[in-house]
Structure 1
């Protein structure tokens, strides 16, 4: 790598919750919501590694680009995803996100461990998916 080039490898595990931690993310909304968030990340030149949701929160592991701050990325994702779900699916109660979020830096060596943690959220927290009745 030439010193005039830039290499950015910053991985973030972000978590945000629904307003008042309401169990809003129903099974039928999970896939469209996660796909929309992935598309928003791609628009911002961020690469999604894994995303998963619980009824009241999103866990997302992604790499960030050098031109956007974490706060900008999360604000964009939260705003666009709630607009998308509320307009496209007209849920009985509007999807609203709680103010704030958690974001943790993840080393390249810890990516697999965080990936597994996000992938198995339902098992870790004792929730059964609709498929595992």
Structure 2
């Protein structure tokens, strides 16, 4: 159980998104840099990263966030801030660009099969 000044909560989200055109570009140094950037964003915004998986063609975060943050706001922060920071620091040759779409699920209702299904659906777009 976590708490803020005015609330106690246990809210966990699975967040998944992919690079534009499903490019398998999140490997090596890019994955390491993004991992650092996601941790910086979480620290600054008061979000706890419970799990993180950066695959060549998708990002999966499992986070705990205070109740005042909507899931769409969390995704916008992680996608928007990470793209700007990565592209400013490292992306001169291969900038990171995310699709507009994402998957979000709450803990207890999401299985790995649901996440895999979402990722497979993105391949057909």
TM-score, length basis structure 1:
0.73
Q: Does 1:59 align with 2:60?
A: yes
For residues 7 and 86 of structure 2, the distance between their equivalents in structure 1, rounded to whole angstroms, comes to 37
Bigger-Rg structure (1/2)? 1
Query: What CA RMSD, in Å, does the superposition of the two structures yield over aligned residues?
Result: 2.3
Residue in 2 aligned with 1:25? 26
For residues 6 and 77 of structure 1, the distance between their equivalents in structure 2, rounded to whole angstroms, comes to 23
In structure 2, list runs of 5 or more residues that go unmatched.
1-5, 116-125
Residue in 2 aligned with 1:47? 48
Count how many residue pairs are aligned between Structure 1 and Structure 2. 109
How far did residue 26 of structure 1 move? Answer: 2.1
For residues 6 and 50 of structure 1, the distance between their equivalents in structure 2, rounded to whole angstroms, comes to 23
In structure 1, list runs of 5 or more residues that go unmatched.
119-133
Q: For the Cα contact (< 8 Å) 1:17–1:56, is it kept in 2?
A: yes
TM-score, length basis structure 2:
0.77
Residues 1:91 and 1:25: Cα distance change in structure 2 (over 3 Å): farther
Q: For the Cα contact (< 8 Å) 2:48–2:64, is it kept in 1?
A: yes
For residues 37 and 90 of structure 1, the distance between their equivalents in structure 2, rounded to whole angstroms, comes to 16
